[in-house]
Amino acid sequence: MLPLSDTIVAIATPPGEGAIGIIRLSGANAITIAAKIFSKKGLEQQPSHTLHFGKIVSNHTVIDEVVISLFKNPKSYTGEDVVEISCHGSNYILQQVVSVCLQHGARMAQAGEFTLRAFLNGKLDLTQAEAVADLIASQSNTAHRAAMHTLRGGFSEDLKDMREQLITFSALMELELDFSEEDVEFADRTRFYQLIGALTTVTQNLVNSFSLGNVIKNGVSVAIVGKPNAGKSTLLNTLLNEERAIVSDIAGTTRDTIEETLNINGIIFRLIDTAGIREHSKDLIELQGIERSREAMKKADIAVYLFDASVDQLDELKDQQRYFEENNIKYLLAGNKVDARGLEKAHDTYRGIDKQIIFISAKNKENINELKTALYDLVATGDLQQEGTIITNVRHYGALQEVLKSLHDIKSGLDNSVPGDLIALDIRHCLHYLGEITGEITTEDKLDYIFSKFCIGK
């Protein structure tokens, strides 16, 4: 970790041209440095939370006309003095302003260093700091809501409650140990037992929410597969409502894999369109397509197998099902082109298939919503609109599993009347992992690791 006494600087807006671009300075000398490069005098004497219009000047050359926002410690994002310089959004200007700040004593911020400082200055706990990164990365209303809930301290509150209740009991247990000669029980075992039961339920629910949380945060990858001419490109276009892939009558023309995203009720599905998965192809490019298609299916969370339901492909469909099942691939069956033959006939032909088939017409946009609902139902169990905490962070998930394990140990200790000092040890384990999640207990290495995954300027 680099010294916290340094004043740090970074571009806070994304690369590329924008109407405005923002440079952020944080640290004891943030305002002094800004004052040295700003055309208007007396910036240091200005009150916190004020805006100042002027010029950034270096060696008598005006770099840009800017607006400076002033945040004096402790009322700032990092808890230190913070200056934000809003420039015109040219990369050249932003680089110039940063370099002038560096000349006047600032140093380049490392990835996540602003948020790290906010954490170290007690502005955020670790779960909230991590939620900042999730919030910035959120691409759907559900990901946004889960990050916002954590950022506002929802998850921290759950953990704080658990920790406080456990600490009370742990203190009584430790007290008993001090009086071990006298065989007294300060900690009411029945109440303790109930508490452990309640904490186990809360923790288990949090652990369970991760499968949904993971889907919310990372989305779901979907491979649309099927023989050439099944209508995969047409379906992709229909789903995305735009002419992205080339639709063609010649079998096997969609050779490049294209990735697009689709938001179904707040879950992001990443669609991968692939070449057909025809077994016996003489065409080399087509064979590569098949290989890629197989690879995509293995990498994808879900495969949608699209087939032309206007013709009889019952045996092939059964083979295909066997392939999915043998390879543990989650899949959906979609019968396309029902407009050409009629829904009833399609149902009749495929009655022998023991899995639900969604019959659609990709071309005429029929039953597309049913297909979307089926995709959604395959991954989203549980209520996405729920207000409670949904775990989206794999680090929290790991620590919560350890919490759960120590709760089980405590319970079995109580069940088997093991000595108080051993139970006290399990309680300490449990408290340790709870503390690790919020960052009350942490190491410098761990912090470096967590914050290194942020972008510069965050």
Nearer to ligand GDP, 209 or 336 (CB): 336
Tokens of 79: 């808890």
Which three-class secondary structure state does DSSP give residue 266? coil
Q: 324-343: which residues touch ligand GDP (CB under 6 A)?
A: 336-337, 339-340
Q: In this chain, which of 361, 367, 389, 393 binds ligand GDP, going by CB under 6 A?
A: 361
DSSP state of 417: T
Please give the annotated binding residues for Mg(2+), written as ranges: 233, 254
Q: 251-290: which residues touch ligand GDP (CB under 6 A)?
A: 254
* Shortest Cβ 108–ligand GDP spacing (Å): 48
Would you call 17 exposed, middle or buried from its count of C-beta atoms within 10 A (0-12, 13-18, 19+)?
exposed
Which residues partner with 358 through β-bridges?
Answer: 334
* Shortest Cβ 339–ligand GDP spacing (Å): 5
Please give the annotated binding residues for K(+), written as ranges: 229, 248, 250, 253
Which residues partner with 271 through β-bridges?
Answer: 222, 260
* Shortest Cβ 301–ligand GDP spacing (Å): 21
Q: Position of tokens 């949380």? A: 213
Which three-class secondary structure state does DSSP give residue 363? coil
Please give the annotated binding residues for GTP, written as ranges: 229-234, 248-254, 273-276
* Shortest Cβ 131–ligand GDP spacing (Å): 41
Nearer to ligand GDP, 112 or 228 (CB): 228
Piece of 65-73, 103-111, 151-159, 225-233 that binds ligand GDP (CB under 6 A): 225-233
Q: In this chain, which of 244, 363, 395, 432 binds ligand GDP, going by CB under 6 A?
A: 363
Measure the CA–CA gap between 30 and 23, rounded to whole angstroms: 12
Nearer to ligand GDP, 217 or 232 (CB): 232
Residue of 72, 59, 57 lying closest to 25 (CA atoms): 72
Q: Mask: binding to ligand GDP, 65-104, rule CB under 6 A, as x and -?
A: ----------------------------------------
Nearer to ligand GDP, 104 or 232 (CB): 232
Q: Mask: binding to ligand GDP, 135-154, rule CB under 6 A, as x and -?
A: --------------------
Nearer to ligand GDP, 340 or 441 (CB): 340
Q: Considering the rule CB under 6 A, would residue 229 count as an interface residue with ligand GDP?
A: yes
Measure the CA–CA gap between 435 and 362, rounded to whole angstroms: 52
Q: In this chain, which of 234, 293, 393, 438 binds ligand GDP, going by CB under 6 A?
A: 234
Tokens of 176: 């008993």
Residue of 9, 106, 103, 107 lying closest to 59 (CA atoms): 103
* Shortest Cβ 363–ligand GDP spacing (Å): 3
Nearer to ligand GDP, 150 or 237 (CB): 237
Residue of 98, 92, 115 lying closest to 23 (CA atoms): 98
Q: Helix/strand/coil (H, E, C) string of 26-89?
A: ECCCHHHHHHHHECCCCHHHCCCCEEEEEEEEECCEEEEEEEEEEECCCCCCCCCCEEEEEEEE
Q: Considering the rule CB under 6 A, would residue 228 count as an interface residue with ligand GDP?
A: yes
Piece of 98-106, 131-139, 178-186, 230-238 that binds ligand GDP (CB under 6 A): 230-238
Nearer to ligand GDP, 342 or 398 (CB): 342
Nearer to ligand GDP, 287 or 340 (CB): 340
Q: Considering the rule CB under 6 A, would residue 247 count as an interface residue with ligand GDP?
A: yes
Nearer to ligand GDP, 27 or 228 (CB): 228
Q: Considering the rule CB under 6 A, would residue 293 count as an interface residue with ligand GDP?
A: no
Please give the annotated binding residues for (6S)-5-formyl-5,6,7,8-tetrahydrofolate, written as ranges: 24, 84, 123, 458
8: left (phi over 0), alpha (psi -120 to 50) or beta: beta
Tokens of 22: 């923002």
Measure the CA–CA gap between 26 and 85, rounded to whole angstroms: 12
Residue of 81, 104, 105 lying closest to 27 (CA atoms): 81
* Shortest Cβ 115–ligand GDP spacing (Å): 45
Measure the CA–CA gap between 114 and 27, rounded to whole angstroms: 10
**Alpha helices (H) in 219-313, listed in sequence order:** 232-240, 284-299
Residue of 346, 320, 334, 345 lying closest to 371 (CA atoms): 334
Tokens of 11: 């571009």
Q: In this chain, which of 249, 348, 415, 444 binds ligand GDP, going by CB under 6 A?
A: 249
**Residues making contact with ligand GDP (CB under 6 A):** 226, 228-234, 247-249, 254, 336-337, 339-340, 361-364
